[in-house]
Amino acid sequence: MNREPIYAALFARLAEAGGFRTASRRLRHWSDVAAVEQPALFLAQKSETAEQRGALPTKWSCDLDAYVYCHAPDEATAATTILNPLLDAIEAALAPSGADVATNTQTLGGLVYQAAIVGKIETDEGTLGGQAVAIVPIRIIVP
C-alpha cells in the first residue's frame, strides 16, 4: 500500500467539498480555530488494520476522522444550519462519481477499493454557544 497518495487524494476531495476557509491534515482543537477561520476541516489518521488472506495481497482498512468546525455568525443563528450543509458536502464528496458509479463505490480515482463514511457521526450543535463540531468517521479499504 502506498499511503501518502491515498491520504492526499482523500484530503483534497474533502477540502474542496464544503467551501472550507481552513483545511489541514494537522488537527487543531476547535478552541484554537478562530471564528474567522471557520468553517474548518481537519483530517486525522486514526488506525490501519492489516488482514492476511492466504496467497492474496494484504487487505488494509484505514480509519480516519474528519473534524468539521463551524461558528454561527450571531446568537439568532443556530450553528447546525451551517454544520448540516457541510456534512452533506462531505457525504457528496465521498459519493461514487465517474467510473465508480457502476460499482457504487468511491475509489479516489482508482487508488483504493472504497472510501466511505462508516459509523456514527458525532456532533455538538453549539447549544450553549455558537461553536458547532462534527467528527465524521471515514474508512478506506485497500485490497
pLDDT digits (tens, 9 = 90+) for 28-73: 999 999 999 999 999 999 999 999 878 888 899 999 999 999 999 8
**Cell, residue 133:** 463540531
Mean pLDDT of 18-25: 94
pLDDT at 128: 64
Question: pTM value?
Answer: 0.91
pLDDT, the chain, mean:
92
Q: Which residues of 91-114 are buried (b: 16+ CB within 10 A; e: fewer)?
A: eebbeeeeebeeeebbbbeebbbb
**Phi and psi angles of residue 112, each rounded to the nearest 5 degrees, phi first:** -135, 165
Dist CA 42 CA 69 (whole Å):
9
- Once rounded to an integer, what is the mean pLDDT over residues 123-130? 79
Domains of the chain (ranges plus CATH)? 3-142 (3.30.70.1700)
d(CA 52, CA 60): 9
CA distance 41 to 23: 5
| Cα separation, 60 vs 137, whole angstroms | 16
Residues contacting 142, CB < 8 A, separation 6+: 1, 6, 59, 60, 62, 111, 112, 113
CB atoms within 10 A of CB 15: 18
pLDDT band at 20 (very low <50, low <70, confident <90, very high): very high
pLDDT of 113 reads: 92
Mean pLDDT of 122-141: 89
**Between these two residues, 96 and 98, which has the higher pLDDT value?**
96
